[in-house]
Each structure stands twice: as C-alpha cells, then as structure tokens.
C-alpha cells in the first residue's frame, strides 16, 4: 500500500506543473486575442476617434459617457462612408419642443435635408408635437414627410382615416410612411398583413402616391420582404458593425442616439440611398 501511495504522489507532482503551464498558455492566448481585437477596433475607427478627440474634447459628455462616445464614433464613420447621400432625421413628441431654426448641421459638417415627423399612432392618437414640427420644418425649408405608427391589434381602416384626417400633404413633401414594428397578439400573421395592405391601399388612393414602409431589418427579412416587394422600405438597424446601406433600402435609420443643435434629446438619423435630386424626384407632385 505504501508503495502505491508513493507512486500516486509522485505522479501528481509530475503533472501539476504541466497543468499550470497549460493554464498560463490559455490565459496568454485569450488576453492576446482581446488585445488584438481592441487594437483592431481602434484602427478601424481611427477616423471617427480622431474627429471625436479633435472636435469634442471641450464638450461635456452626457450621463452615459461611454455609450455616447461609442455612438458618436460610429455615427461619424457611417456618415463618412456615405458622402454624396442625403442625410435626414425623424422626430416625434419624444424629442420635446424643437427649435427648427437651429436644425441645420449634424456633427458640424453634414446638412440635415429632410425630416420624417410622427403624425399619428393607432386609431386614436395624434402626436402632441406634430403640428408644430410639421410647420417648423416647412418654414425652415427642410424637406418633410409624415409617418403613422401602426398598432397591429387595432382596425387598419380607422388608423388610415386618422392619418388622412391629420396629414395634409403638399407639393414637395415626402410620401406617407407606415411604421410597423410589432407583431399582433391573438391573431395570425396573415391577418396582420391584410391589415397593413388595407392601410397602404387606402392611404395611396387618398394621396395618389405609394407609401413607404418603415420597419426593423429582421422584421423586413422575416415578414415583409417577399409579400410587400412592390413597396419601398425604410430600414432601422443600429448594429455597431453595420456601416453601409443595402442596395434595396430606400432609407437607412442607422442610429437613434445622435446629438443635433435645436433638439434637446437624442435623435434618430437616416441616410437616403441617393442624392438630393433623386430624393426630390420621389416627393409629392
């Protein structure tokens, strides 16, 4: 028995250093990978970081400084990747009272040339700031459009009627937009699609212009891309690693966390997949 015990002890002593060395090797590989990943990210976003450090060092960061810093760096890179495209925003009552005379330049170099304004939600809700925003954009010569937030469990015709009653489109305005983000409760997906088509058909008949559909990228791919292929889409995707608009997107909402003079709260920013002349071509005649 003594001999067996001695052998076990001897075996344990021989293997312990090997295990420790293996553990150190694994830690070294993991730390090296993380360091390379960080260096790669810094290099990849070097232009945005340089811009940020050069132009924003004297400004006070908001409560979530890290989040805002990363958002600003990404926003700058995305904007740099779309030179020649038209930049715009979208707003609702959640942005509070907007000083439209101040809404001109994003990140000190990108003109804001269009805005989508929330008009209605569901079958009974008119946005509290719609009238002021609608008039303010027009007075300050910013191309404007109106959107409706669709509630899947409410009557689609009543929702269309509310939008039509609220929004009076004029020559030069952008087409109406249907914002669909949620799935219905206690009803099949086919019922949702029928309701969306009824809304779109009624609104198109009234304004004599085909509406645009706003939704998230996953929602678009999973539920709308095939059956609504005759419509143009405005897609929301805030993924940090997505930096370019897809060819089949009319608009891309790439962030919801931008800062803009004249707007107290964070604001969504959008890229139109074309130049200003092409954007003017799709407006109401």
Residue tagged active-site, from 181, 222, 227, 256: 181
Residue 76 within any structural domain of the chain:
no
How many separate domains does the chain show?
Answer: 2
pLDDT tens digit string along 187-212? 899 999 999 999 999 999 999 999 99
Percent of the residues in the chain that have a pLDDT greater than 70, as a whole number: 82
Q: Mean per-residue pLDDT for 90-108?
A: 95
Active site residue 222: no
Q: Which residue has the higher pLDDT, 268 or 30?
A: 268
> Binning pLDDT at 50, 70 and 90, where does residue 44 land?
low
111 and 156 both lie in a single domain = yes
> Binning pLDDT at 50, 70 and 90, where does residue 8 land?
very low
Residue 267 within any structural domain of the chain:
yes
131 and 233 both lie in a single domain = yes
Residue 72 within any structural domain of the chain:
no
Taking CA 78 as the corner, what is the angle to CA 72 and CA 83, rounded to the nearest 5 degrees?
125
24 and 89 both lie in a single domain = no
Residue tagged active-site, from 90, 173, 217, 268: 90
pLDDT at 134: 98
pLDDT at 103: 96
- What's the domain range around 111? 81-281
Residue 60 within any structural domain of the chain:
no
Residue 92 within any structural domain of the chain:
yes
Q: Which CATH number does the domain housing residue 155 bear?
A: 3.20.20.80
10 and 90 both lie in a single domain = no
Residue 49 within any structural domain of the chain:
no
**pLDDT above 80 (res 19):** no
pLDDT tens digit string along 257-283? 999 999 999 999 999 999 999 999 999
251 and 111 both lie in a single domain = yes
Q: How far is CA 181 from CA 98, 236, 272, in A?
A: 25, 10, 20
pLDDT at 67: 63
Residue 58 within any structural domain of the chain:
no
> Binning pLDDT at 50, 70 and 90, where does residue 55 land?
very low
Burial state string for 190-214 with b = 16 or more CB within 10 A and e = fewer than 16? eebbebbeebbebbbeebebbbbbb
Active site residue 248: no
24 and 152 both lie in a single domain = no
113 and 179 both lie in a single domain = yes
Q: Which residue has the higher pLDDT, 15 or 157?
A: 157
107 and 231 both lie in a single domain = yes
pLDDT tens digit string along 118-140? 999 999 999 999 999 999 999 99
């Amino acid at each position: 028995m003594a001999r067996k015990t001695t052998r076990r002890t001897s075996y344990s002593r021989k293997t312990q250093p090997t295990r420790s060395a293996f553990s150190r090797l694994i830690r070294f590989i993991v730390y090296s990978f993380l360091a390379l990943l960080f260096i790669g990210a810094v290099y990849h976003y070097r232009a945005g970081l340089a811009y940020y450090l050069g132009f924003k060092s004297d400004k006070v960061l908001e409560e979530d400084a890290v989040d805002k810093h990363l958002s600003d760096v990404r926003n700058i890179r995305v904007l740099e990747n779309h030179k020649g495209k038209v930049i715009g925003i979208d707003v609702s009552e959640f942005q509070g009272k907007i000083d439209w005379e101040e809404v001109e330049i994003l990140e000190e170099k990108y003109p804001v040339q269009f805005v989508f304004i929330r008009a209605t939600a569901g079958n009974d809700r008119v946005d509290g700031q719609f009238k002021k925003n609608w008039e303010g954009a027009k007075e300050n010569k910013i191309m404007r459009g109106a959107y409706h937030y669709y509630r899947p469990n409410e009557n689609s015709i009543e929702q269309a009627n509310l939008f039509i009653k609220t929004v009076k489109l004029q020559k030069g305005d952008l087409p109406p937009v249907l914002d669909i983000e949620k799935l219905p409760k206690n009803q099949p997906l086919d019922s949702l699609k029928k309701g969306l088509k009824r809304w779109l058909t009624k609104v198109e008949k009234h304004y004599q212009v085909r509406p645009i559909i706003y939704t998230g990228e996953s929602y678009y791919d999973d539920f709308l891309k095939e059956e609504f292929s005759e419509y143009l889409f405005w897609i929301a995707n805030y993924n940090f690693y997505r930096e370019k608009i897809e060819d089949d997107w009319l608009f891309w909402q790439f962030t919801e966390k931008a800062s803009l003079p004249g707007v107290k709260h964070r604001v969504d920013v959008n890229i139109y997949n074309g130049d200003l002349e092409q954007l003017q071509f799709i407006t109401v005649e």
